[in-house]
Amino acid sequence: MKRALAMILTVLLLLAPLMGVSADEKKVVRVLLAGWDLNDGIDPVTAAPFKGFLTWWAENFTNEHPDIEVQINAIPWDTAQQKQQAELMAGNVDVLYTGSYVSQYYEMGLLRNIDDLLANDTEYNPLELFPEGIWNSAYNLVTSDGNRYALPAVMGQRYTVYDTTLFDQWGVEYLSEYPTTQEIIEKAKQMTGINPVTGEQNYGAWFYLPAPMDIFTFVAWSYAYDITGGIGTTEDPANIQWELNDEKMVQLFTDFGELVKCTPPGFLTGTGNEYYATEDNNVAIFLDQNGGNIMSQYYQTGETAMLDRYKASMNVGPNGEGWVAVDPIVMAANPQDVDAAWTVMKALASPARQEYHYSEFRWTPAVKDYSFLNPADIHTPYALKIADSAHYTLIDESNPFFTTEIVPLVNRYCSDVLSGKTVDIQAMLDELQAKAVAWSASQK
Amino acid sequence: MAVNTSAMLKKPVKKRFILTNNWIGYLFVAPLILGLLVFHLYPVIRSFMMSLENTNGVTGTFIGFDNYRWILRDSMFWSSIYNTVYMAVLSLIFNVALSFLLAAMINSIAKARGVFKSIFFIPNVVSVIATSILFTFLFYPTKAGVVNSILTMLGIQPVEWFSGISTSRLTVCIMGAWRMIGYYIIIFMAGLQSVSKEMYEAADVDGVNEYQRLMHITIPSIRPIFAFVIIMDTIASMRRFSDVYMVGGTSGSPGGTLVTTVMYIYRNAFTGTQMGVASAAAFVLFLIILLLSYLNITFVNRPNDR
């Protein structure tokens, strides 16, 4: 028995070099992905099979990098923030795909700055790969004082979508390619009432209000009025010089109130858009919307009726920009192997990986060259054009004062407008300004 | 009578707090005690320490009681307290009164009690998230909503329900009552069945009517049950979060009417990364709940009834 065991061990030892790179020589990178489908499956909407990420990864990365062992885990978006923070604090992860709260991780010291890695990697030119607007200023990628900690992985789509059928029925000219806030308000008002053709109640506009951290439409409209919220950065909140009660802010709130009056019932709780992308739609203009539902119908049926009916135009910023969400790939503060983690990080953010997710799951790629888009997809190019001129201000969810004070204030203001209450906008903003100054003072 | 004087002359044994010859027993309870210390007591202490810091949860600087001063001067905090108490009072009225009445009705029938108890208890096992989504459609603010369509058929104008500033809190409480009365019915039924039948028989002999039976026998007999239900419902209401979050988001739409104190804490902690402020608010809420529980126990479950 002992002799047999000794012989088996000897044979194994002799064969070990033939097994390729041994486990000891492999660099290990632990990856945690929020919301990714790792395994092959079937799309519940189209019933079409899709390729899971692990399959794509094996085809495109594992074979090319046999010296790197990538341990990939996925978690659902629900409670992802808490789980990822726990993993980062415990040192259990090297590279993550994460969400809008990534700037908080960086402020907590849980993420590694990648400026040195970019500087040393002379063959890697991000500006050739990613839209300049988000690369240079997205708070999820770089701090306002220039410390870079992330690569863009997936983008959100937020632009203006409008129903040409309703426009035709009301006899209103379609929105221009770069609509202004005044144009939107005027046309929304014209189309709020009883439709002259169908006799149904129509509403001029809709946008999503009760967001947890942001009111995207309000942020986009602040760009249109050249509002920055003040002078300073979120990294140095104690020294922000707030500008929240000037004439531009008063005008923004006044016009925003006019827009809100054109919304359907249920708007305050995020409903009222149930007929969007359907034949029974009763809202003319959808702000900060995306073409997901419309494109899903096309992919499912091949029909282009909704594509023809629902047109897109740019957002309301001076160059058509609006707020752009970017979900990034980041590196933990102390990865096990920095070079291996950097290789994996670049692969996860690569245009090839983003093309895979666009093809299989219709995720919006954050890439400069989007020639791989489906020719029928007339919506995603708007999101990418907007990303190219994106910029960020203090009116942004990276600013704690914005999420805890300004967002609730805008919500209350919209509610007051819809309930017919007369709001003294200047007094409201004076109070907000005083509170902001007190908040900054408390940060010292 | 013989007296054992030797026992009287012996020195009394000093009682030690921990008896070393019971070490096996301590060993058995040690995991539980350790778990309580690590997962209950330590987080409470750590949270209090964070309430004295300007912190994002990972790094911070000591600032004393500045966070407490901030929240006590914050109109949004007091607004959240108002919303929480408002909905707590409404909930108390719906939940306690309705569940007691239904329990009394079920208790009065001879057959099929189990069926009715089950029917009323089923909503309690449905998740808050699913309930909120369901009720958002039931209480849709136009006549397309189920409830409004019924009201329209009866000639009543559609109600804004969740979307109206004056109706949102009431609607949330109705939703909460749907979920919770089944649970309280079970508790009340246990109490009702423990009331002595002899008292009712004696009352019948004295010619007491139903109302008098209820007010002078039933309710006084189950006063501790009322105290328990009121305390439980008060605590649950003061901790309200999931349902209002699903309906109105962290802004508490419409008009901030659904911002509860726990929502205020959540918003500061997880959207604003102001853990110090959130922890201070959590401690203030803890003190409020403690006070309300004490008042409940003192006034509802009076000593002469024990």
Do B256 and B291 belong together in one domain?
yes
pLDDT digits 0-9 by tens, A17-51: 555 555 457 899 999 999 999 999 998 777 888 99
Say whether both B60 and B205 belong to one domain: no
CB contact, 8 Å: A76 with chain B?
no
Measured in angstroms, the CA of B63 and the nearest CA of chain A are apart by 9
Whether A266 and B259 lie within 8 Å, measured CB to CB: no
CB A183 within 8 A of CB A364: no
- Domain spans, chain A: 23-156+325-383, 159-323+399-442
**Count of CB atoms within 10 A of residue B276's CB?**
28
Q: A92 to chain B nearest CA, in Å?
A: 17
- Residue A94 contacts B where some CB pair is shorter than 8 Å: no
Pair B148, B292 in one domain: yes
Averaged pLDDT for residues B261-283: 92
CATH of the domain at B245: 1.10.3720.10
Q: Which of A181-195, A283-297, B94-108, B230-244 has the highest mean pLDDT?
A: A181-195
Q: Which CATH class is domain A23-156+325-383?
A: alpha beta
Domains A23-156+325-383 and A159-323+399-442 share a fold: yes
User: How far is it, in rounded angstroms, from Cα A14 to Cα A304?
Assistant: 64
Compute the nearest-CA separation of B253 from chain A (Å): 6
Question: In a 3-state reduction of DSSP, which class is residue A39?
Answer: coil
B10 inside domain: no
The pLDDT, as a whole number, for residue B170 is: 96
Map A3-36 to HEC letters. Answer: HHHHHHHHHHHHHHHHHCCCCCCCEEEEEEEECC
Three-state DSSP at A303 gives coil
- Whether B240 and B181 share a structural domain: yes
CATH of the domain spanning A159-323+399-442, picked from 1.10.10.10, 3.30.43.10, 3.40.605.10, 3.40.190.10 = 3.40.190.10
In a domain, residue B1? The reply is: no
CA dihedral (A428, A432, A433, A434) positive or negative: positive
- pLDDT tens digits, B174-225: 999 999 999 999 999 999 988 888 888 888 888 888 888 888 888 889 988 9
The answer to whether residues B127 and B54 belong to one domain is: no
Task: State whether B59 and A89 contact (CB < 8 Å).
Answer: no
Residue B276 lies in a domain: yes
- Identify whether residues B165 and B280 lie together within a single domain: yes
- ipTM > 0.90, yes or no: no
Domain that holds residue B55: 21-67
pLDDT tens digits for range A173-214: 999 999 999 999 999 999 999 999 999 999 999 999 877 666
Q: What mean pLDDT is reported for chain B?
A: 88
CA distance B272 to chain A (A): 4
CB pairs < 8 Å spanning A and B: 108
| Residue B281 counted as domain residue | yes
In a domain, B149, yes or no: yes
Give the integer Cα–Cα distance in Å for B141 and B152: 12
Last residue of a domain, one of B67, B100, B129: B67
Per the domain annotation, does B140 fall within a domain?
Answer: yes
Which is nearest to B92 in space by CA: B226, B290, B282, B264? B226
Q: How many domains does chain B have?
A: 2
Whether the per-residue pLDDT at A142 is higher than 70: the answer is yes
For the segment B4-47, what is each residue's pLDDT rounded down to a tens digit? 555 555 556 555 555 567 888 999 999 999 999 999 999 999 99
Q: Which residues of A touch B254 (CB under 8 A)?
A: 268-269, 411, 415, 418
- B255 in any annotated domain: yes
Same domain, B58 and B126: no
Of A265, A269, A404, the CB nearest to B274: A404
Q: What is the separation, in whole angstroms, between the first and last Cα of chain B?
A: 41
Name the residue facing A269 among B142, B253, B273 (closest C-beta). B253
Q: Indicate if B46 and B95 belong to the same structural domain.
A: no
Contact list, B64 vs chain A (CB under 8 Å): none
Same domain, residue pair B137 and B191: yes
Which residues in chain B are contacts of A405 at CB distance < 8 A? 76
Which of B66, B256, B268 lies closest to A412 in CB terms? Answer: B256
Residue percentage of chain A with pLDDT more than 70: 95
Q: Are residues B150 and B243 in the same domain?
A: yes
